[in-house]
Chain A
Amino acid sequence: MNDFSEIEDKLRKLRPVQPSVDLMTRIELALAEARPGESLHQGNRSASTAGVLPRERRFHFNWVSLGLGLAAAAALVLFARFQLERPVKKTPALASITPIPQFSSTNSTAQFVPAGLTQVVYHTRDEGLHFPNNSEQPMRRVRSHTRETLRWRNPTTGASLRISYPSEEVSLVPVTGQ
Chain B
Amino acid sequence: MENVATDENWKTCFSQLAPGLVLFARQWARSSADAEDIVQEAFVRFWRKQHDIANRGLLYAAVRSIALDFLRRDSRRARRESTAASETDQTVQPMFEIEDESQRALVAALDLLPNEQREVLVMKIWNDLTFAEIASALEISQNTAASRYRYALATLKKNLPPV
Contacts and interface: CB of A to CB of B under 8 A. Distances in A.
Contacts of A48: 4-7, 10
B22 interface: yes
Interface residues of B, number: 54
A52 B7 contact: yes
Given A30-B40, A51-B11, 6 more contacts: A13-B103, A17-B22, A19-B39, A24-B14, A27-B43, A48-B6
| SS class, residues of chain B in contact with chain A | helix
Nearest to B125: A11
Interface stretch (A37-45, A56-64, A108-116, A159-167): A37-45
Interface of A: 1, 3-4, 6-8, 10-20, 23-24, 26-27, 30-31, 34, 38, 40-41, 44-45, 47-52, 125-134, 138
Contact of B121 (A11, A15, A125): A11
A16 B8 CA distance: 24
B122 to A, nearest CB: 9
Nearest to B98: A14
Contacts of B43: 27, 30-31
Contacts of B10: 48-49, 52
Given A19-B32, A49-B7, A129-B93, A10 B102 contact: yes
A128 B91 contact: yes
Interface of B: 3-8, 10-11, 14-15, 18-20, 22-23, 31-33, 36, 39-41, 43-44, 47-48, 50, 85-86, 88-98, 102-103, 106-107, 110, 121, 125-126, 150, 153-154, 156-157, 160
Nearest to B18: A19
A131 B89 contact: yes
Contacts of B3: 44
A38 B48 contact: yes
Contacts of A13: 103
25 contacts: A4-B157, A7-B160, A12-B125, A13-B103, A14-B98, A14-B126, A15-B19, A16-B20, A16-B95, A16-B97, A17-B94, A17-B96, A23-B40, A24-B14, A26-B36, A27-B40, A31-B47, A48-B4, A51-B8, A52-B11, A128-B33, A129-B91, A131-B88, A131-B92, A133-B86
